[in-house]
Amino acid sequence: MASPEFPHSEPPRESESLPYALAVRFPAEQPAGQAYTAAQEALYHAETADVSVFRFQLNRVWHVAALGVLPPPELAQQLAAILTEGEPVSLPTELWQLLRQRRQQAIRQAPWVERHVRPEPPDEQA
């Protein structure tokens, strides 16, 4: 959802899209990881939250995205503050769809799911 803090972040444009979607990019893996971990902690300690947070690389640039149901105002402010460490970006609609699918898969597994997958290094062919 576009907001004053994230004017360029766009949610999926489908009729069943979720009303809360923010995406930011970071200059390196470490600050993205710190924001991702802080967002996960905020969600874990929230009384009510139906938001998923993802950290991933897109075109070798680290991103963090939050997707879900609009959280309570205090949590929304906390997540916005965490994500302001990155630069707001628009993600391709296809990527929002993929994140929504991953979110649905995780929800079917359990109320809280963490999965960490390291990208494989590119082939080094000289």
pLDDT of residue 27: 96
Residue 85 counted as domain residue: yes
Tens digit of each residue's pLDDT, the chain (126 residues): 444 444 444 444 443 455 899 999 999 999 999 999 999 999 989 888 889 999 999 999 999 999 999 999 999 999 999 999 999 999 999 999 999 999 888 778 755 555 445 555 555 554
Domain that holds residue 77: 28-107
Residue 125 lies in a domain: no
Reported pTM: 0.74
- What DSSP designation does 15 have? T
| Residue 32 falls inside a structural domain | yes
Q: Are 66 and 79 in contact (CB under 8 A)?
A: yes
Predicted pLDDT of residue 19? 82
For residue 35, being part of any structural domain is answered with: yes
On whether residue 10 sits in a domain, the answer given is no
Please state the domain count of the chain. Answer: 1
